[in-house]
Amino acid sequence: MDIKSSKFENITVLVPFKLKNPKTRLSNLLSIEERKKLAIFMLSDVLESVTESGVGSVVIAVPEESSASEISRVVNERKAEVVVDGRSLNDLVNHWIAQLSANQELAVIMADLPLLTPDLLTSFFSLNGDIVLSPGRKGGTNMLLVRNREFEVSYHYGSFMKHVEIAKSKGLTFSIFDSFFSSVDVDDESDVLELLIHGKGKRSREYLVSIGYGISCEEKDPRIVRKR
């Protein structure tokens, strides 16, 4: 770990991950096996950027034992700890926030953000505030940094707006991290297009290309095509 990045040693990164029938909105494009592979490659891309950013530790939380063993290959490689935790996303994250000790910080980073880079993450970790929020499309909170354990999360149903309101109601300061690449959580077909356009060098993109996906620019707006 180099000197530049060691300033984030007080950060624990929590990556919630689900492997059971993942990414159902991509069912028209990918079989369930392909969706599982894509999910694992995206997790691998996220872990690569997160570990290179120099954080203290990385924890992947999966709901069931069977998924934990399936991702062990990726995880061993990337030096992250896997914990099995069946709680809902909100209960899981709030549990981790409640355990925060003084001077420790918790980052919650979604596993479907393959366009993250180490530089992007160091910018994110460097913003001020009790809370740092990184918006996704549709009111999502793609990344969250918590420096005060009075905060509570409430994902889905417009989590970004809710998280701003929760911070305000508790008198906590917050920053908003403005990033296109962290706004792209790969959820539907339009997000796959973004990965294909901007994800050069990422394993998840290489996987999509290896199974025939590419971009057609024959119309005014590019779209994804599968060649085989």
Interacting residues with a second copy (CB under 8 A):
120, 135, 137-139, 156-158, 160-161, 178-183, 190, 193-194, 197-198, 215, 217-222
Cβ 36 to a second copy shortest distance, Å: 22
- The token duo for 6 is 């060691």
Nearest CB to a second copy, comparing residues 85 and 194 = 194
Cβ 176 to a second copy shortest distance, Å: 9
112 vs 105: CA distance, rounded Å: 22
Could you give the strand order of the β-sheet that contains 11-16, starting from the edge strand earlier in sequence?
A: 81-84, 57-62, 11-16, 105-109, 141-146, 131-135, 174-176
Nearest CB to a second copy, comparing residues 111 and 115 = 115
Cβ 139 to a second copy shortest distance, Å: 5
9 vs 19: CA distance, rounded Å: 29
Cβ 118 to a second copy shortest distance, Å: 13
Residues 6+ apart with CB under 8 A from 128: 173, 175
Residues 6+ apart with CB under 8 A from 73: none
Helices and strands, counts by H and E, the chain: 8, 9
Nearest CB to a second copy, comparing residues 149 and 198 = 198
Cβ 33 to a second copy shortest distance, Å: 25
39 vs 60: CA distance, rounded Å: 13
Nearest CB to a second copy, comparing residues 73 and 180 = 180
Nearest CB to a second copy, comparing residues 71 and 167 = 167
